[in-house]
Amino acid sequence: MTQSLDLQQAQRAIDTIRLLSADMVEQAQSGHPGTPMEAAPIAYLLYTRHMRYNPKNPTWAGRDRFILSCGHASALLYSMLHLSGFGLTMDDLKNFRQVGSPTAGHPEFGHAPGIETTTGPLGQGISVGVGMAMGARFLQQRVSDKLFDYTIYGLCSDGDLMEGVAAESASLAGHLRLGNLIYLYLDNKITIEGDTDLTFTEEVATRYLSYGWQVQHVEGENVQDLDRAIAKAKHSPRPSLIIARSHIGFGAPNKQDTHDAHGAPLGAEELRLTKQFFGRDPQTTFAVPADVAAHMGEMGKRGAKLDADWQRALTQELQKNTALAAWQKAADGELPAGWNDLPSFAAGEKLATRQASGKTLNTLAGKLPLLLGGSADLGPSNNTNLKGEESFTPCTVGRNIHFGVREHGMAAVLNGLAHTPGLIPFGGTFMIFADYMRPPMRLAAMMGLQTIYVLTHDSIGLGEDGPTHQPVEQLPNLRAVPNLTVIRPGDANETVEAWKAAIANRKGPTALILTRQGLPTLDRSVFAAASGLHQGGYVLAREQGDLQAIIIASGSEVPLALAARQELQKENIGTRVVSLPCWELFEQQTQDYRDQVLPPACRNRVAVEAASTFGWERYVGLQGRIIGMHGFGASGPAGELMKTFGFTAENVIAKVKELL
pLDDT digits (tens, 9 = 90+) for 179-193: 999 999 999 999 999
At 196-255, the pLDDT tens digits run 999 999 999 999 999 999 999 999 999 999 999 999 999 999 999 999 999 999 999 999
At 508-546, the pLDDT tens digits run 999 999 999 999 999 999 999 999 999 999 999 999 999
At 74-84, the pLDDT tens digits run 999 999 999 99
pLDDT over 70 (residue 309): yes
Which CATH superfamily is 7-306 part of? Answer: Thiamin diphosphate (ThDP)-binding fold, Pyr/PP domains (3.40.50.970)
In angstroms, rounded to a whole number, what is the distance separating the alpha carbons of residues 252 and 32? 13
Question: What is the DSSP code string of 9-26?
Answer: HHHHHHHHHHHHHHHHHH
Distance from the Cα of residue 575 to its chain's centroid? 42
Q: What is the share, in percent, of the chain residues with pLDDT greater than 70?
A: 100
The pLDDT confidence band at residue 2, using thresholds 50, 70 and 90, is low
pLDDT over 80 (residue 272): yes
Supply the residues annotated as catalytic: 407
Residues with Cβ within 8 Å of 199's Cβ and at least 6 positions away in sequence, in order, are: 162, 191, 193
Q: What is the CA radius of gyration of the chain?
A: 28
In angstroms, rounded to a whole number, what is the distance separating the alpha carbons of residues 35 and 215? 22
* Farthest-apart Cα atoms in the chain, separation: 91
**Beta strands per DSSP E along 3-129:** 65-68
As beta bridge partners, residue 626 has 607
pLDDT over 70 (residue 65): yes
How is the chain split into domains, by residue range?
7-306, 350-520, 535-659
The counts of H helices and E strands in the chain are: 24, 21
One fold for 7-306 and 350-520: yes
Is residue 533 a contact partner of residue 502, using CB atoms and an 8 Å limit?
no
**Beta strands per DSSP E along 142-269:** 152-156, 181-187, 190-191, 194-195, 214-219, 240-245
pLDDT over 80 (residue 1): no
The pLDDT of 126-132, averaged and rounded, is 98
With CA atoms as reference, report the closest residue to 452 among 460, 443, 441, 461.
441
Is residue 148 a contact partner of residue 62, using CB atoms and an 8 Å limit?
yes
Residues with Cβ within 8 Å of 183's Cβ and at least 6 positions away in sequence, in order, are: 69, 126, 129, 153, 154, 155, 156, 239, 240, 241, 242
Q: How far apart are the first and last CA of the chain?
A: 79
The pLDDT of 386-414, averaged and rounded, is 98
At 331-373, the pLDDT tens digits run 999 999 999 999 999 999 999 999 999 999 999 999 999 999 9
The pLDDT of 435-454, averaged and rounded, is 98
In angstroms, rounded to a whole number, what is the distance separating the alpha carbons of residues 365 and 35? 44
- Topology of the domain comprising 350-520: Rossmann fold (3.40.50)
Residues with Cβ within 8 Å of 232's Cβ and at least 6 positions away in sequence, in order, are: 216
Q: What average pLDDT does the chain have?
A: 97
pLDDT over 90 (residue 3): no
Quick one: pLDDT at residue 370?
98
Is residue 537 a contact partner of residue 579, using CB atoms and an 8 Å limit?
yes
Strands 510-513 and 452-456: parallel
**CATH code, 535-659:** 3.40.50.920
